[in-house]
Amino acid sequence: MPEEKQLTEQESLQLITSMIQKVKGGYHENGTGPILWGTVVSIASFVTYLQREYLFDLPFDIWLIVMAAIIPQIIMVRKERRTRPHIKYEDEAINAVWIVYALTIFGLTAYQAIVPEVSANLLKEEGWQMMKHVLDNSKPDEVLTPFTPSLYSIYILVYAFPTLVTGITKKFTPMLVGSGIAYTCFIISLYTASKYDFLLGAVTAITCWFIPGLILRKRYLAQKRQHV
C-alpha cells in the first residue's frame, strides 16, 4: 500500500508538470507573436520613412503587410487553443489586452482613412476649404485635404500600451525597457517632422517586439529541448 500511494503521488506530480508544460509556450511566451509584429511594423514604418524622405512610391501600400500579418496571427491563436487546453488566467488577460490593442489600431486606421475626406466635404458644404499658402509667394496656393498632423505619434503611444502590460504581467524586463523606449520615441515625435515619426515607429517596433520576441523565442526553444 505505501508503494502504491508513493506511485500515485509521483503520477500526480508528473501530471501537474505535464499541465504546466502545456500551459507554457503560448503565443506571447514563445516569441512568435512579438517577432511577427515587430518585423512587419518596423519594415512598414521604415519603408514609409524612406518614401517620404526620397519621394518615391511603391506599386502597393506597404502597410498591407501589417494587415496580412493578421492571417498568421489568427492561425497561431487557433493552434494555441488546440494545443493548450489549459490557459493561465494571466495569459487570458494578456490576450484581452492585445485584442483591445488591435481594435484600437483598427480604429485609428479607420479614422485616418475616413475623417479627412468627410471633413473636406463638410467644409465644402459650409462654403470654404483649406489652402496651402507659401509665405514668400514662390508657389501658387494649393487646395489641401484636411489631415491630422503627426498622427503616427499616436500609433507609437499605442504601441507602448500592450508591451508595458505584458512586461509587467510577465515580469519580462526587455518589454519593460521596450515600452520605456516607445514612450521616449513618442515624446521625441512631438517635436519632429512627421516623416521622422515613421523612423521612430520602426525603432519602437524593434525594441518593443522584435528584440524581446527573439529573446523569448530563444528561451522557449531552450526550455523545449530540456523537456524532450
Give the per-residue pLDDT at 228.
Answer: 58
Supply φ then ψ for residue 25, to 5 degrees: 80, 30
Name which of 160, 150, 158 is nearest 207 in CA terms: 160
Residue with cell 514662390: 138
Kindly list the domain boundaries of the chain, sorted by start residue.
Answer: 31-84+92-211
Rounded to whole angstroms, how far apart are CA atoms 26 and 87? 9
Where is average pLDDT lowest: 33-42, 80-89, 120-129? 80-89
**Does residue 46 surpass a pLDDT of 80?**
yes
**Does residue 140 surpass a pLDDT of 60?**
yes
Rounded to whole angstroms, how far apart are CA atoms 35 and 41? 10
Rounded to whole angstroms, how far apart are CA atoms 26 and 166? 13
Q: Using a pLDDT cut of 70, give the percent of the chain over it.
A: 80
**Does residue 21 surpass a pLDDT of 70?**
no
Mean pLDDT of 97-120: 83
Give the per-residue pLDDT at 22.
Answer: 40
Higher pLDDT, 165 or 81: 165
Helix (H) or strand (E) holding 216: helix 211-226
SS3 annotation, 112-127: HHHHHHHHHHHHHHCC
Beta-sheet strands, E only, within 39-141: 130-132
Where is average pLDDT lowest: 85-89, 95-99, 135-139, 174-178? 85-89
Chain centroid to CA 37: 5
Q: How confident is the model at residue 186 (pLDDT cuts 50, 70, 90)?
A: very high
Q: Residues for the chain: how many in total?
A: 228
Q: What is the DSSP string of 144-204?
A: E----TTTHHHHHHHHHHHHHHHHHHHT-HHHHHHHHHHHHHHHHHTTS-HHHHHHHHHHH
| Greatest mean pLDDT range, 13-22, 28-37, 158-167 | 158-167
Cα of first residue to Cα of last residue in the chain, in angstroms, is 32
Q: How confident is the model at residue 16 (pLDDT cuts 50, 70, 90)?
A: very low
Give the per-residue pLDDT at 3.
Answer: 44
**Does residue 24 surpass a pLDDT of 80?**
no
**Does residue 26 surpass a pLDDT of 70?**
no
Helix-helix angle 194-205:32-54, to 10 degrees: 160
**Does residue 215 surpass a pLDDT of 60?**
yes
- Beta-carbon contacts of 136 under 8 Å, excluding residues fewer than 6 positions away, are none
